[in-house]
Amino acid sequence: MSHDLNLGGLIDPTGDPDVVAFIDLAGAEPGGAGTVHTRGEIDGLANAVARGLVKRGLVRGDAVAILAENSVAFLGAYMGIMRAGMIAVPINYRQPARTVAHIIADSETRLILADPGRRDLCPSGVPVIDITDPGADGFGGLIDPGSFEIIAPMPEETAMILYTSG
């Protein structure tokens, strides 16, 4: 199955969808339980991102950068990008704007998913979607719920470009 070959298919669709996959502590009171997200939710979000990227006109092999703090949306986007056969480019948001601009240019990024705290690091000329915005102009407008057939990558295809400081 394609989910076995593609890193975007880390969540096995044949597994129990009700198993807890992620607990989001953002906004939780100290010692609070946070928001629980199941495997089924994360799997559905990854499919919705893959569908949305394709619907937006991106194609297999296009690079999509993520410049945001860790979140459920980040995880769903990361997996969705790869499910669609595109190249995930996670960027360390602590990098200076000059380095971020170099990464975007060097990776030939076609779309950036950024949170509001990192928007000012994004170079002009590449479309940016606010990964925290549930509205039509933000991440909510990108996602397209439904099933998605995970792309089986070819051996020479790139799944992710990870820029490191070392």
Helices (H), the chain: 2-5, 39-55, 72-83, 97-106, 139-142
pLDDT tens column, 135-148: 999 999 999 999 99
2-142 architecture in CATH? 3-Layer(aba) Sandwich (3.40)
pLDDT tens column, 117-126: 899 999 999 9
pLDDT tens column, 82-116: 999 999 999 998 999 999 999 999 999 999 999 99
Does residue 7 carry a pLDDT above 90?
no
Q: Please, what sign has the CA dihedral across residues 72, 60, 90, 95?
A: negative
**Dist CA 109 CA 62 (whole Å):** 7
| Tokens of residue 47, six digits | 């499919």
In this structure, the number of other CB atoms found within 10 A of the CB of residue 150 comes to 23
> Is the distance from CB of 64 to CB of 110 less than 8 angstroms?
yes
**Dist CA 8 CA 16 (whole Å):** 18
Helix axes 72-83, 39-55, angle to 10 degrees: 60
Share of the chain above pLDDT 70, in %: 96
pLDDT at residue 121 in the model: 92
pTM of the model: 0.92
